[in-house]
């Protein structure tokens, strides 16, 4: 099963991604984690990634596609994956055509997302208030077309992300189990 988690920063994507990874025995991959790891490297690319992320800007599509698609070629992703933070733009979604079975949108208001982020302790340099606000703004501007793209394909699952963590997980599992039953019945 190839899944994508979409949601504003603070929506709970990593919490749900890790839970789903355990439940369905498929690896969870966060593009943000990949970029943060690469940003620690003392290379030109590492320094550029660090500066870009710390400003709250998005990594350009061509760079993101190259890095994420190369990661997905690893053998551990051959039987499926849960992606968080990719595809983030319509160009990425179109280039990744066919790489997704279901897209889970965790719907959380901007206010709730800011409360959640402010409430967690973080030593991440890319979690300044200015960077977070910029990413929230970019989510609405850039990622909404991705949501519509997958909705038109019938791949989108909308989840109320403001419920308890357990209820969000239960709602996702219910929707995914239904998808798996339908898929099995079709075969």
The domain ranges of the chain are: 2-186
Question: Per mean pLDDT, which range of 53-62, 78-87, 107-116 is the poorest?
Answer: 53-62
pLDDT confidence tier of residue 124, bands split at 50, 70 and 90: low
Over residues 137-176, the pLDDT tens digits come to 888 998 899 999 999 999 999 999 999 999 999 999 999 9
Over residues 94-112, the pLDDT tens digits come to 999 778 999 999 999 998 9
Report the pLDDT value the prediction gives residue 122, as an integer from 0 to 100: 65
- Please, are residues 47 and 24 in contact by the beta-carbon 8 Å criterion? no
Supply the CATH classification number for the domain 2-186.
Answer: 3.40.50.300
């Amino acid at each position: 099963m190839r899944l994508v988690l979409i949601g504003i920063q603070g929506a709970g994507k990593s919490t749900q991604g890790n839970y789903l990874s355990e439940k369905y025995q498929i690896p969870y991959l966060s593009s943000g984690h990949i970029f943060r790891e690469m940003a620690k490297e003392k290379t030109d690319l590492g320094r550029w990634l660090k500066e870009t992320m710390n400003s709250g800007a998005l990594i350009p599509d061509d760079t993101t596609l190259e890095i994420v698609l190369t990661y997905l070629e690893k053998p551990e992703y051959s039987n499926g994956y849960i992606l968080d933070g990719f595809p983030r733009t319509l160009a990425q979604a179109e280039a990744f055509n066919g790489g997704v079975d279901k897209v889970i949108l965790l719907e959380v208001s901007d206010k709730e997302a800011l409360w959640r982020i402010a409430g967690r302790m973080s030593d991440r340099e890319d979690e300044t208030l200015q960077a977070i606000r910029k990413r929230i703004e970019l989510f609405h501007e850039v990622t909404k077309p991705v949501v519509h793209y997958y909705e038109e394909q019938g791949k989108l699952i909308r989840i109320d992300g403001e419920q308890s963590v357990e209820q969000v997980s239960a709602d996702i599992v219910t929707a995914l189990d239904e998808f798996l039953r339908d898929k099995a019945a079709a075969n």
